[in-house]
Structure 1
Amino acid sequence: MSELAKLQSQFMDYLLTESLDGQTPLSQGAAEFQARIADQQGIGADVRLQIYANAYRIRLKETMETDHEMLGLYLGDELFDKLAAQYTQANPSRFRSLREFCDALPDFLQQDSFFSQYPILADIARFERRLLSAFAAADTSRASFSELQALAPEYWPNCRLRFHPSVQIFICHSNAVESWQALKQAKAPAAAEYQSRRAWLLWRGTSRLTEFISLTEEQLLLLQGFIRGENFASQCELMLEFHDEQLAPLKVLQALQAWFTMGIIRSVEVS
């Protein structure tokens, strides 16, 4: 390792390990880097380094505020500050891009001794991560319903769907999404409740805006099956759990037509 690379590594080590309370001993690399810094114009080396460390943490907190704006509103300033400090300490950024910095936030909220007392927090954070993933997904062409209609009848039973990369399914057992929506509309969210399972479909529409809708249990099972690669015939059979033999294929066809209109189908494949 060159001297410059070693110096850069030690500096990053300092930024990642310098403790919030100033009491935890520095790692060897961080301590070696600190020893290289000279006092300047009456400002000690430790103070100069602390300025960098504070600025670094502020930037990470700003990333959390941007990525998880509604979570921040739900928590309020004091608790969000607590979350930002503890998460940054437990999960210092080790990525070149800040886009991945908060990927572990839902799990942190679910496992932390304090925040885990409120499961809706992890659900809100996970929903916001899904929104970000949908927005940042790669773009591809989108199929039209006419492509499905053009298939000869003998090909329909074995046709399968491929979905746009932005398609996400979010499932939780709280009113996290409803609370997120209320906050987005500058309204007070209802009290947290955990009475039933909720499912949502998220995707980036043709206008490049992220969209989402709630799913019934029937819609969820149908969508999950097609995402897994099940064909049209097997999905019609699945719908027999909810409808009679005449209505089941129609329900599948109606769902497909809606999905094509929403722009979530990338292609139709026949085997």
Structure 2
Amino acid sequence: MSESLRQLQHAFMDYLNTGETASFQPHVIAQGRITVDTRLAIYRNAYRIRLTETIETDHEVLGLYLGDDLFDQMTRGYIQQHPSTVPSLRDFCDALPTFLAQKMPFSEHPILADIAAFERRLLNAFDAPDAQRLGFSDLQQLPVPDWPRCQLRFHPSVQIYSCQSNAVEAWQSIKAEQTPTAPDYSATRHWLLWRGDTRLTEFISLAPFQHELLMGFIQGRNFAEQCELMMQFFDVEQAPQQVLSALQAWFEMGLIAKLQT
């Protein structure tokens, strides 16, 4: 790419993001009755509409929760503060949860950032690479002496999401065309998300011990270490049974991609 073309592209992007025409206007000519300023405005408006549509697509439920006026305010502020910097719009909204957590008036309602973060996790699970999925029979075939040292590697779509609000419950209510309950910040909630065999994104809530167990395996702990960890929640006989029961469920859900000893 020639340096002059690169400079022209940068000048065009500067105009789209800031509205400043000084560096780019000389490269545009009028067309019939359409002035240079009008032609530039058409491009800039179309570009911002495309960015707005991306936010609407990625965060449909958040938009319904906010309502039209607040959603328009959010999209204008986000586009101004976080202009797109790469050709693909796949990651354009990655900073939206942080924006909502820091920008007034949205920061006064933490559930908004939580809903946005949950929708990002759903998108990540849906877009994750494909990988093999092991069955429980693969674990059963593992030599007994190897069980204590066994570690799990999860399917790339597996996501763990934790938040201090009832954001996911509100998301579910809106999806079901029901009125969500008032925001509740009384307890930390944990959720497991993944893409199933049918390529549908699924999620379930996690009890505290289930969250600890999943995070332990994700962080590389082996079966023996996980059984010891579960003794914080269960007695010495129940702990291994709880780990084994969880493992069987995870295999059935298609969460496990690899066993490693």
TM-score normalised by the shorter chain: which range applies?
Answer: over 0.9
Return the match for 2:52 from 46, 61, 65: 61
Counterpart residue number, 2:223: 232
Alignment of 1:1-271 (within 5 A): 1-18=2-19, 26=20, 30-270=21-261
Aligned equivalents of 1:42, 1:206: Cα separation in 2: 56
How far did 1:154 drift?
0.9
Task: Number of aligned residue pairs: give it.
Answer: 260
How far did 1:194 drift?
0.6
How far did 1:153 drift?
1.4
Aligned equivalents of 1:265, 1:180: Cα separation in 2: 27
Aligned equivalents of 2:27, 2:214: Cα separation in 1: 59
Q: Which runs of 4+ in 1 moved over 6 A?
A: none
How far did 1:48 drift?
1.3
How far did 1:151 drift?
1.4
Alpha-carbon RMSD across the aligned residues, in angstroms, is: 1.0
Secondary structure (helix, strand or coil) at the match of 1:218 reads: helix
Secondary structure (helix, strand or coil) at the match of 1:229 reads: coil
Deviations 1:3-24 (A, max 9, x none): 3332222111211222xxxxxx
Secondary structure (helix, strand or coil) at the match of 1:109 reads: helix
Aligned equivalents of 2:160, 2:197: Cα separation in 1: 18
> Partner amino acid for 1:12?
M
Deviations 1:60-119 (A, max 9, x none): 000000000000000011110110111001111111111111000000000102110010
How far did 1:225 drift?
0.1
Deviations 1:188-224 (A, max 9, x none): 1111111110000000001110000000100000000
How far did 1:35 drift?
2.5
Deviations 1:1-52 (A, max 9, x none): 433332222111211222xxxxxxx2xxx52211322233232211210111
Deviations 1:218-250 (A, max 9, x none): 000000000001000000001111111111100
Aligned equivalents of 1:69, 1:90: Cα separation in 2: 21
Counterpart residue number, 1:22: none
> Partner amino acid for 1:73?
L
Q: Point out the more displaced range, 92-101 or 124-133.
A: 92-101
Secondary structure (helix, strand or coil) at the match of 1:214 reads: strand
Secondary structure (helix, strand or coil) at the match of 1:191 reads: coil
> Partner amino acid for 2:118?
F
Aligned equivalents of 1:48, 1:152: Cα separation in 2: 71
